[in-house]
Amino acid sequence: MANAGLQLLGFALACLGWIGFIVCIAIPQWKMSSFAGDAIITAQITYEGLWMSCVMQSTGQMQCKSFDSLLKMDSTMQATRALMICGILVGFFAMCIAAVGMKCLTCLQDDEVKKAKVGVVGGALFIVAGLCVLIATSWYGNKIAKDFYNVFTPTNSKYEFGPALFIGWAGAALAILGGALLCCSCPRRETSYPPPRSYNKSAPPAGKDYV
């Protein structure tokens, strides 16, 4: 079985990545206004996230407005929301399951093989959660890049990658790496042989009965 320290490291990395998921979906800086043109007014910066859009003035004041209708969102926005929520929920269940399979806890202490298998299941769920967030952030970032290089997009309407995308990518990488380390605790199959029978040499041989 894997070293307990390696298992603990994987759990810590995966949990840190899961916290990154929550930070990523909460902040509105998924994309930010670009200053690619020559005559762009830089007095304010526009941010847009999954739930709201914000405008930051040069004085540091920020005003945010939530999106009014879910049905007005495009398919990319709705799919990104769904994948992010799935990633957070799967990561939560993965954290609970992986905690049971940790060697440093007393749960399932009587059966080490079953305990290791539970840890592997938690690691696999962390990998699934990381892939959900990775797909969501990459899909959203691809749309930003396409709109940026589209010649029909006005210069004042172009956006660049926001800090939330980088946080999501980092969190997904940590979750996948931590889940892989937890999966290293998969028990090896060992061939079990019946124990050899012991004979008592000091016992006298059984006598024969003669008629």
What pLDDT was estimated at residue 167?
A: 96
Q: How confident is the model at residue 2 (pLDDT cuts 50, 70, 90)?
A: very low
pTM over the 0.95 mark: no
Per-residue pLDDT of 5-40, as tens digits, reads 788 899 999 999 999 999 999 999 999 887 765 545
**Would you tell me how many other CB atoms lie within 10 Å of the CB of residue 36?**
11
CA distance 132 to 122: 15
Write out pLDDT tens, residues 129-186. Answer: 999 999 999 999 999 998 888 877 777 778 889 999 999 999 999 999 999 998 886 6
d(CA 126, CA 132): 10
What's the token pair of residue 191? 């061939």
Please count the CA atoms within 13 angstroms of the CA of 149 that sit on its side-chain side. Answer: 5
How is the chain split into domains, by residue range?
4-27+75-183
CATH number of the structural domain 4-27+75-183: 1.20.140.150
pLDDT of residue 211: 46
The residue behind tokens 């079985």 is 1
Taking 70 as the threshold, does the pLDDT of residue 100 lie above it? yes
Does position 202 have pLDDT exceeding 60, yes or no? no
The span from the CA of 30 to the CA of 34, in Å, is 13
**Tens of pLDDT along 104-125?**
766 666 767 787 888 889 999 9
